Amino acid sequence: MPARNQINPPPLRKITDFKSKLTGGGARANLFEVVLTFPDAAQPSTDVLDKSRFLVKGANLPASNVAQIEVPFRGRVLKVAGDRTFDSWTVTVINDTDFSIRSAFENWMNTINRVSDNTGLTNPADYQSDAYVYQLDRDGSTLRSYRFYDVFPTQVAPIELSYDSQGIEEFTVELQVQWWEAIKGTGTNAGGEDIN
């Protein structure tokens, strides 16, 4: 006798069945754009904001975490939903010869805590800003976007220098995130729901 609510295995599927379910040929990990904003206290030139749309070569769509709370009861543990937490967000940046983006992040961190005397802004509204990542379709339309609220950098990673190295320098920046929201895109293949 089959178990209650048992789901029987589906009949043999064909590659054409799989293809019919893969909307738009699948989302591509290399089709994205990151838009950074900086707080007024650390506002870089417009050139930096424009460059970041091209020179941020790596990012991620955020994780979603709801912690569990374990409640002991007579030798068993009841698991119930706890609070939502938000992971830090890391971007990878291609370094150009004028160091404009790296300098902008270093300046942002310096407004938070000056390297010379350990002073800085204390009101979060003065040093936090929003950032955006757009997942693009192959036609350039937006499939889904994420808005990261009230981010601020906590690490501008080192750039390793070596006589043995070739290629263009890159560095990562770790930003803390208060929360994020997901927004359905406008492209013909866009789907999903707004999450806010």
pLDDT score recorded for residue 1: 56
CA dihedral of residues 54, 58, 62, 68 (deg, nearest 10): -160
pLDDT score recorded for residue 110: 97
Assigned domain for 27 exists:
no
Assigned domain for 28 exists:
no
Nearest of 113, 109, 101, 122 to residue 42 by alpha carbon? 109
Q: What is the pTM of this model?
A: 0.87
Assigned domain for 9 exists:
no
Assigned domain for 149 exists:
yes
Assigned domain for 13 exists:
no
Q: Which amino acid is at 179?
A: W
Query: Percent of the chain having pLDDT more than 90?
Result: 79
Assigned domain for 47 exists:
yes
Distance CA 150, CA 159 (A): 26
Provide the number of structural domains found in the chain.
1
Assigned domain for 25 exists:
no
Tokens of 62: 């955020």
List of the chain residues with pLDDT < 50? none
Assigned domain for 44 exists:
yes
Residue keyed to tokens 């990990």: 29
CATH for 49: 2.30.110
Cβ neighbours of residue 107 closer than 8 Å, sequence gap 6 or more: 42, 44
pLDDT digits 0-9 by tens, 134-175: 999 999 999 999 999 999 999 999 999 999 999 999 999 999
What is the DSSP track for 101-155? HHHHHHHHHHHHS-TTTS-----HHHH-EEEEEEEEPTTS-EEEEEEEEEEEEEE
Tokens of 21: 């379910």
Domain span holding position 73: 35-184
Say how many residues make up the chain.
196
